[in-house]
């Protein structure tokens, strides 16, 4: 045997059973809410031409300058593993002319994204998101819908200990005036070695986590004082809609988010038990992005929810108290001659939509019963010599231990009724 034992690259998590089941529960709970709201699935490529992200996310953003995995393919085209989904969705909407019909175009996606960040708990180099994007309508109610979909997903998962933060970056006029004001303020109070960063993108400093920078930022101008009256009206309508829907948005004037395409509404969901990597999801409006990618001048709003972090949040809150069962029925052939009969029964059960597994290989009754119990099955089916001779099957209720005997022909149909599959 070879001495080599491989490990996954640093920051690239495996999700193995039984935890992988919880990973799927989280991912599917989010996408289910998107489907309920009429968002349609879009399957995006895992790599794109690098310009989709340099133009889309912003040439100056950390995501593009520091965190993107780029490579040249054999034709020497410069490609990048997708660091996020919004730019790809906009590229696909333009390329496939999806925005010619009724608006908004509502899409959802899920899968891995890649960021060359320093790995730690909750911060991975391969991260998983479910995202939604609604293209083509500027309406605070649509922003509210997007936020409410994320909130419903967290709620249905059973999460409680999280907050919703909202802000607005205002319109173009507000953003350019604010940028100048913030730059002037920061150049005045920050040390010289930070000036290059401030000149490049002063808004980035608002995200800075160091306590020194944060204390100096306390007196920084607030973006809301640069809002136009229509920026304010839009924000207030969004906030009031969310409150009327029973959410409790907290206004965070420092929330700007790290991607350069945002315009207007920005939001984030923060979980209290995740330490430094507390953001379980976030998003906002990006009204110039389709245009920047060569498309029509259409608006957009959406979110990306981190599945890895939402799973960690679910675990921190203990929302998955029961281990999910792997199958509903587990069949045990007690003699070799009963193996085919068992395989036929589990196949029939699966055809009814009842999940079923059986013992394979040589195993004594004790080992087989242990496997049945570990599978989480509600019912074990046992076929020994006697049952085989009489075309019968013993049905054991795994909770009560009660046993009954049924004809082999009828068992799949009976269990389908019992499990409400027919």
**Which range touches ligand HAM (CB under 6 A), out of 1-9, 165-173, 299-307, 373-381?**
299-307
How crowded is residue 301: how many other Cβ atoms within 10 Å of its Cβ? Answer: 31
Q: Is 84 in the site for ligand HAM (CB under 6 A)?
A: yes
Question: Which sign does the torsion angle of CA 8, 13, 15, 19 carry?
Answer: positive
How crowded is residue 251: how many other Cβ atoms within 10 Å of its Cβ? Answer: 12
Considering only residues 56, 136, 304, 333, which one is a binding residue for ligand HAM as defined by CB under 6 A?
304
Distance CA 57, CA 317 (A): 33
Q: Which two tokens stand for residue 62?
A: 């950390």
The dihedral region occupied by 147, where left means phi > 0, alpha psi between -120 and 50, and beta the remainder, is alpha
Distance CA 237, CA 228 (A): 14
Whole-number Cα distances in Å, 368 to 104, 286, 310, 327, 383: 54, 57, 36, 15, 12
**Which range touches ligand HAM (CB under 6 A), out of 39-47, 278-286, 290-298, 378-386?**
278-286
Q: Is 306 in the site for ligand HAM (CB under 6 A)?
A: yes
**Which range touches ligand HAM (CB under 6 A), out of 136-144, 209-217, 239-247, 283-291?**
283-291
Nearer to ligand HAM, 136 or 302 (CB): 302
Please count the residues of this chain forming the interface with ligand HAM, following the rule CB under 6 A.
Answer: 25
Least distance in angstroms from the C-beta of 36 to ligand HAM: 19
- 356: which residues sit within 8 A by CB, 6+ positions away? 327, 328, 329, 330, 331, 345, 346, 349, 350
Q: Residues 31, 25: contact at Cβ < 8 Å?
A: no
**Which range touches ligand HAM (CB under 6 A), out of 175-183, 199-207, 302-310, 384-392?**
302-310
Distance CA 231, CA 244 (A): 20
Q: Is 308 in the site for ligand HAM (CB under 6 A)?
A: yes
Nearer to ligand HAM, 85 or 170 (CB): 85
Q: Residues 48, 249: contact at Cβ < 8 Å?
A: no
Least distance in angstroms from the C-beta of 178 to ligand HAM: 20
Least distance in angstroms from the C-beta of 272 to ligand HAM: 14
Q: Residues 150, 311: contact at Cβ < 8 Å?
A: no
How crowded is residue 291: how many other Cβ atoms within 10 Å of its Cβ? Answer: 14
Distance CA 5, CA 366 (A): 34
Distance CA 194, CA 209 (A): 14
Q: Is 282 in the site for ligand HAM (CB under 6 A)?
A: yes
Considering only residues 82, 91, 106, 115, which one is a binding residue for ligand HAM as defined by CB under 6 A?
115
Considering only residues 129, 152, 201, 355, which one is a binding residue for ligand HAM as defined by CB under 6 A?
129
> Which residue number is nearest to ligand HAM in terms of Cβ?
306
Q: Residues 116, 9: contact at Cβ < 8 Å?
A: no
Judge if the upstream peptide bond of residue 219 is cis by omega within 30 degrees of 0.
no
Q: Is 167 in the site for ligand HAM (CB under 6 A)?
A: no
Considering only residues 85, 104, 136, 202, which one is a binding residue for ligand HAM as defined by CB under 6 A?
85
Closest CA to 113 of 129, 131, 134: 129
**Which range touches ligand HAM (CB under 6 A), out of 114-122, 179-187, 331-339, 411-419?**
114-122
Q: Is 58 in the site for ligand HAM (CB under 6 A)?
A: no
Q: Is 27 in the site for ligand HAM (CB under 6 A)?
A: no
Considering only residues 28, 51, 62, 117, which one is a binding residue for ligand HAM as defined by CB under 6 A?
117
Least distance in angstroms from the C-beta of 25 to ligand HAM: 17
- 213: which residues sit within 8 A by CB, 6+ positions away? 190, 205
Q: Is 264 in the site for ligand HAM (CB under 6 A)?
A: no
Least distance in angstroms from the C-beta of 249 to ligand HAM: 16
Q: Is 309 in the site for ligand HAM (CB under 6 A)?
A: yes
Nearer to ligand HAM, 264 or 283 (CB): 283
Nearer to ligand HAM, 86 or 355 (CB): 86
Q: Which residues bind ligand HAM (CB under 6 A)?
A: 84-86, 115, 117, 122-124, 127, 129, 131, 133, 279-284, 286, 302-304, 306, 308-309
């Amino acid at each position: 045997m070879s001495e080599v034992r491989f490990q996954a690259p640093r920051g690239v998590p495996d999700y193995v059973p039984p935890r992988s089941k919880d990973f799927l529960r989280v991912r599917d709970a989010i996408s289910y809410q998107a489907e309920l709201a009429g968002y349609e699935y879009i399957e995006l490529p895992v790599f794109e031409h690098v310009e989709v992200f340099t133009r889309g996310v912003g040439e100056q953003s950390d995501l593009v300058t520091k965190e993107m995995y780029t490579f040249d393919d054999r034709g020497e085209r410069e490609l990048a593993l997708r660091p996020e989904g919004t730019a790809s969705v906009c590229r696909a909407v333009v390329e496939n002319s999806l925005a010619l019909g009724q608006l908004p175009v509502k899409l959802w996606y899920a899968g891995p994204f890649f960021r060359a960040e320093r790995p730690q708990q909750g911060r991975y180099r391969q991260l998983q998101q479910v995202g939604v994007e609604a293209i083509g309508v500027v309406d605070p109610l649509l922003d509210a819908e997007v936020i409410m979909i994320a909130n419903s997903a967290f709620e249905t998962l059973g999460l409680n200990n999280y907050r919703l933060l909202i802000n607005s970056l205002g319109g173009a006029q507000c953003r350019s005036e604010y940028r100048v004001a913030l730059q002037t303020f920061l150049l005045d109070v920050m040390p010289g070695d930070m000036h290059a960063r401030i000149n490049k993108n002063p808004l980035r400093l608002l995200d800075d986590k160091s306590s020194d920078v944060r204390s100096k930022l306390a007196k920084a101008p607030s973006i809301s004082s640069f809002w136009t009256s229509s920026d304010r009206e839009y924000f207030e309508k969004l906030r009031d809609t969310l409150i009327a829907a029973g959410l409790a948005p907290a206004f965070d004037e420092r929330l700007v988010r790290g991607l350069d395409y945002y315009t207007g509404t920005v939001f984030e969901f923060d979980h209290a038990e995740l330490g430094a990597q507390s953001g379980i999801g976030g998003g906002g409006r990006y009204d110039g992005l389709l245009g920047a990618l060569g498309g029509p001048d259409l608006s957009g709003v959406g979110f990306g929810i981190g599945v890895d972090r939402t799973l960690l949040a679910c675990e921190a809150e203990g929302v998955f108290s029961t281990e999910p069962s792997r199958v509903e029925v587990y069949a045990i052939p007690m003699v070799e001659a009963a193996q085919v009969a068992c395989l036929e029964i589990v196949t029939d059960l699966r055809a009814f939509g009842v999940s079923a597994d059986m013992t394979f290989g040589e195993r004594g009754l004790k080992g087989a019963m242990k496997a049945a119990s570990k599978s989480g099955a509600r019912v074990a089916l046992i076929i020994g010599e006697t049952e085989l001779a009489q075309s019968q099957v013993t049905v054991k209720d795994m909770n009560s231990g009660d046993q009954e005997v049924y004809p082999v022909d009828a068992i799949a149909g009976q269990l389908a009724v019992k499990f409400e599959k027919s």
